Amino acid sequence: MAKSRSSSSLLAGTKPKSALKALFSVTKGIDVQPRTTCLLTSYQMNRPDSPALLAPLGPWFELHRRAMPWRDEDLDRVHPNPYAVLVSELMLQQTQVATVIPYFERWMVRFPDASSLSAAGDDEIHKLWEGLGYYRRARHLHHSAKHIVTHGWPMDFEGLMKLPGLGPYTAAAMAAIAFQWPEPALDGNAFRVLARILGIEGDPKLQAKALRFWLKPALEQHGASRMTQSLMELGATVCAPAPKCGKCPLLAQCEAHKMKATDRIPPSIQRLQPKKAEIWLVAVEAEGHWLLCEPAQKGLLAGLWKWPAVESAVLVEETVAADPGLPYASSELRAWPGWTQVYTHRREFVSPLHLRMEKRFQASNDYRWIHENELDQLALGKRDQHLRELIKDEGSPLLQGPSPRALLIQLRGDANHVP
Ligand code: SF4
């Protein structure tokens, strides 16, 4: 265990008995998990020194903060537009600032307040969110807007936690940034900064409760919005996984830097290898209409239209070649070059097909024929939108085989080489 200020200055003045239990003891009901090593001592837990340790952050943030359309210039007041903070916080979940900004700006033009959003229809909301991913966030925002219009803004942190889509982190960020309530919000950036400053070895998320307790006085003393945003900003721009310590306002305080341990604090997370899959997307066209799968009511892709998709070329082949009930006789099958679609846990090689038929057939319940002119009004997920763009782009190359079967056999060979 590294010797540090925990066993010297911070423990000076504690009684020998408590000193023995200094690292990771249980004080004031804060159960610090013993699986990690941390410099948060019982002394610190009784008298958190975050206000002194983090004092340089506020002035640094004033000078170095990035401009963002939802940020208020004045860090000391209650945010004049909490709705804008809510929109930004939900958009920023799992998504980078640069990606969010154009979406945020478009959103605020169309839905400038909770009232306009609450009155909108699902299709329009999904359409505006199209491309940002994790569509459940759009639905949560919609439901939150309805709640706010009916009941007003929550009056406390517990009330914020009841808004759809607001977990402990987002509710705390809203509390601090929109309302100046001193609720510590710990995202990945904040955990990394605190782990390094305090020299926490092991997963700092296991210390979340203790870290919030330690951090809160800094929010109370220096301003909740200022401290919350500056901590996140430092993690995003300076104390990144590869830190730029020479530019850091907390260099003198940083235990990880003193121990030359910034490469192991916090430990990097081993990510699972994404699973590989092949997907065949089939755009079926007949009489100026396209066949689409209706949106699901629940799940990750709720509210989004989809092209018919199958996970096996054999199934496509069987359907195209064998169903005597469908007017395939004079159908044409062509294909666009495929692409690799990368998700967090999955890597798909997508083979897009264009099946042109003479007549529309009776589609099963989940499917609808959509007129060409209405296609652009539908909200599609990223993968399905890509196929929509191929259809619109008359210049995109189409592959054609001597027969649908021959084409599928050729494409199947391509799909076996998923990168
Ligand atoms: S000194 Fe380096 S490791 Fe420590 S908080 Fe600053 S940037 Fe992060």
- CB of 401 closer than 8 Å to CB of 407: yes
Q: What is the pLDDT of residue 333?
A: 75
Average pLDDT value over all residues in the chain: 82
pLDDT tens for 255-294 read: 999 999 999 999 987 777 888 888 888 888 889 999 899 9
CA of residue 198 to ligand 1 center, whole Å: 10
The residue whose CA has the least distance to atom 2 of ligand 1 is: 245
Report how far Cα 98 is from the mean position of its chain's Cα atoms.
13
Task: Check if 261 has its Cβ closer than 6 Å to any atom of ligand 1.
Answer: no
Mean pLDDT for the stretch of residues 361-372: 85
Task: Check if 251 has its Cβ closer than 6 Å to any atom of ligand 1.
Answer: yes
Task: Check if 411 has its Cβ closer than 6 Å to any atom of ligand 1.
Answer: no
Token pair, residue 123, equals 């299709």
Residue spans per domain, the chain = 5-258, 275-415
Task: Check if 200 has its Cβ closer than 6 Å to any atom of ligand 1.
Answer: no
Q: What is the pLDDT of residue 4?
A: 37
Specify the fold of 275-415. Nucleoside Triphosphate Pyrophosphohydrolase (3.90.79)
Task: Check if 197 has its Cβ closer than 6 Å to any atom of ligand 1.
Answer: yes
Q: What is the pLDDT of residue 346?
A: 86
| Residue of 219, 169, 214, 384 lying closest to 290 (CA atoms) | 384
* DSSP code for 16: H
Q: What is the pLDDT of residue 351?
A: 86
Phi/psi for 171 (5° steps) reads -65, -40
Q: Strand 289-293 to strand 275-286: parallel, antiparallel, or no bridges (unpaired)? A: antiparallel
Which of 43-47, 163-167, 215-219 shows the lowest mean pLDDT across its residues?
43-47
Q: Strand 399-400 to strand 346-357: parallel, antiparallel, or no bridges (unpaired)? A: unpaired
pLDDT over threshold 60, residue 236: yes
Model-level pTM greater than 0.85? no
- CB of 310 closer than 8 Å to CB of 412: no
Q: What is the pLDDT of residue 355?
A: 82
What residues contact 68, with CB distance under 8 A and at least 6 apart? 88, 97, 101
User: From start to end of 178-252, where are the E strands?
Assistant: none
CA 248, 251, 252, 254 dihedral sign is positive
The residue whose CA has the least distance to atom 4 of ligand 1 is: 254
Q: What is the pLDDT of residue 42?
A: 56
Which of 316-320, 344-348, 387-391 shows the lowest mean pLDDT across its residues?
316-320
Q: What is the pLDDT of residue 27?
A: 35
CA of residue 242 to ligand 1 center, whole Å: 10
Four-way CATH pick for 5-258: 3.40.50.10860, 1.10.340.30, 3.40.50.80, 3.40.50.1000: 1.10.340.30
pLDDT tens for 38-93 read: 555 555 566 678 999 999 999 999 999 999 999 999 999 999 999 999 999 999 99
pLDDT over threshold 60, residue 15: no
Q: What is the pLDDT of residue 7?
A: 34
What's the CA gap between 226 and 238, in Å, rounded?
A: 17
CA of residue 234 to ligand 1 center, whole Å: 9
